[in-house]
Amino acid sequence: MEIRWESTLPIRRFLEIYKSAYSQVGAYCYTKNRDIKRYMKWLYKHCKGSFIAEINGKIVGFVFPDANWIDESGRIGEIHEMCVEKNYKRRGIGKKLLLTSLEYFRGRKLKRAGLWVGENNNIAINLYKKFGFKEMYKYGKWIRMTRDI
């Protein structure tokens, strides 16, 4: 598996991975292609690119880390989206993307990282907890999680 920074991501592949990743937790995602494409444009505007995971030249996952986010505590490294294609889950790809994002934030002298996760997305919640993220509060169906870097 290779992780690398990519300033563009093929829209078709992004859609495939996004839909596959959320196929079992659909309450927390966009479902229409036009909405997913709009979201992708927003992610690239704010993050200026993403880390992608490739296996044998095939993109199987991605994460959008934002080193210029501001929340109630000040400047923070924000993980806006992390997806791994369904057939590639439980292979350490999400872990590697998450650790790469935290290292990216450290390199930009950030002291905290944060993210939002769906309240019933237990696989993701458990992954984030395993790497030190703590639940801060809930807003609707979303949980805010943060950790020190």
Angle between helix 122-130 and 93-107 (nearest 10): 50
Report the alpha-carbon distance of residue 140 to residue 136 in Å, rounded: 13
Please report, for the chain, how many H helices and E strands are present, in that order.
4, 7
For residue 80, the model assigns a pLDDT of: 95
In this structure, CATH architecture of domain 2-148: 3-Layer(aba) Sandwich (3.40)
For residue 93, the model assigns a pLDDT of 97
Cα atoms found within 13 Å of the Cα of residue 90, Cβ hemisphere only: 3
Tell me how far apart the alpha carbons of residues 10 and 76 are, in angstroms, rounded to a whole number.
28
Mean pLDDT by 10 residues, the chain (149 residues): 88 91 82 92 91 96 96 93 94 97 98 96 94 96 96
